Amino acid sequence: MAAMTETAETAESAETAETAKTAETVPAAVREAPAARAGEAVRRRPRPRVWRGAVLALAGAYFLLPLLASFVFTVHVPGQGVTFEAYTELLGADGFSQSLLLSLGLAAATIVLSLLLAVPALIAVRIGSPRLRPVVEVVCMLPLVVPPIALVTGITTVLRWGPEHLSRTPLYQTFIAVQDERFPVVLVLAYTVLALPFVHRSLDAGLRAVDVPTLVEAARSCGASWPYVVWRVLLPNLRTSLAGAAFLTLALVLGEFTIASLLGFRPFAVWIVSISGAQARMSVAVSILSLLITWLLLLVLSRAGTAPSTTASAPATSRKES
């Protein structure tokens, strides 16, 4: 999951990188001896092609089969033939819209919170406080070490302190408020912790590709204020990684089951499991839809992220390669 941001970047720079590589990296000696190389290439080419085709075909079959089979499962009822009821009845299903809206709301809150926390910290670490950098990195990466199920044991323990020790203090009200059924803030907090490693990695990669100190100094010496520098100079350059961070967080929150179910809330993933017993077909249909939606989001975001910023990040890309 962590590596997903690299996909967008690789796809973006793949073409330019390849042309650049072949142009500058082919050694003179090789170019001077084309005959020998061509002969060798002809001899060697067929073998890897067969191998490559077999590998990709097998992989494709393995990854497509469950998707196709699930689709068949949802539309084909043994003895009755093909029906699309599992999909048409979805919208009216009990709890579908509530749980989906809850998940989307949680995702939006998590994205906003994690970006608000991480963006200033990472920019600050880049321009002003390099000594803080390892601290911020470790702090952001630590949640990777803690599996969600372990985190939730800690959270339940802490939440139990509310009624047990703090019932006489104003903190108790806070403990009740964060566990509100309609919008469980405690989930936003937990999800932000889980999302931090991915947000950090995505933003860090983006900041690495941009020469932040130079940009900031140039903007500052032109008289731009700090908010202006961040909003109009740095953030547009980070568009790809911001989109990547937001997407990863959205995917994480929409699919999250462990923490929500053990804390007793009912967002989307928990809802799917709760209906699976009575309506197996519908639960599979929702699973397929969630995959399609994720796919669509990824495509849209990778387009939105790369297209406008290609020109802006072009110099940075070439710098990185040198």
Partner 1 sequence: MSAPTTTPHREGTAGGTTPRRRRRGPRTWLAALPLLVFTGLCFGIPLGAIAFGAVTRTDPDTGATRATGEHLARSLQGPYLGSLTGSVQLSALTALIATLLGVLIAQALVTSRSAALRSAALTASGVLANFGGVPLAFAFIATAGISGVATQLADLTGLGWDLYSFTGLTVVYLYFLVPLMVLVTVPALDGLRPQWREAAQNNGATALQFWRHVGLPVLAPSLLGGFVLLFGTAFAAHATAAALVGGSVPLVTLKIADALSGNVLTGQENVALALGLDMILIAGLVMAVYLPLQRRSARWLR
CA–chain centroid gap for 308, Å, is 20
Which residues touch 273 (CB under 8 Å, ≥6 apart)? 257, 261, 283
In sign, the C-alpha dihedral spanning 40, 42, 43, 44 is: positive
- Smallest gap from Cβ 225 to partner 1, in A, equals 13
- Smallest gap from Cβ 147 to partner 1, in A, equals 3
Whose Cβ is closer to partner 1: residue 21's or residue 232's?
21
- Smallest gap from Cβ 121 to partner 1, in A, equals 4
- Smallest gap from Cβ 220 to partner 1, in A, equals 11
Whose Cβ is closer to partner 1: residue 124's or residue 222's?
124
- Smallest gap from Cβ 290 to partner 1, in A, equals 5
Beta carbons of 180 and 96 less than 8 angstroms apart? no
Which residues touch 166 (CB under 8 Å, ≥6 apart)? 172, 175
Whose Cβ is closer to partner 1: residue 82's or residue 145's?
145
- Smallest gap from Cβ 298 to partner 1, in A, equals 6
Which residues touch 308 (CB under 8 Å, ≥6 apart)? 239
Whose Cβ is closer to partner 1: residue 73's or residue 172's?
73
- Smallest gap from Cβ 150 to partner 1, in A, equals 4
Q: How far is CA 27 from CA 37, 44, 318, in A?
A: 13, 20, 20
Whose Cβ is closer to partner 1: residue 237's or residue 290's?
290
Beta carbons of 316 and 9 less than 8 angstroms apart? no
Closest C-alpha among 156, 305, 160, 153 to residue 242:
305
Q: Is 77 helix (H, G, I), strand (E, B) or coil?
A: strand
- Smallest gap from Cβ 25 to partner 1, in A, equals 5
Rounded to whole angstroms, how far apart are CA atoms 225 and 205?
A: 25
Beta carbons of 249 and 114 less than 8 angstroms apart? yes
Whose Cβ is closer to partner 1: residue 143's or residue 237's?
143
Beta carbons of 309 and 237 less than 8 angstroms apart? yes
Rounded to whole angstroms, how far apart are CA atoms 159 and 161?
A: 5
Whose Cβ is closer to partner 1: residue 77's or residue 101's?
77
The C-alpha torsion from 222 through 240 and 16 to 24, rounded to 10°, is: 60
Whose Cβ is closer to partner 1: residue 147's or residue 236's?
147
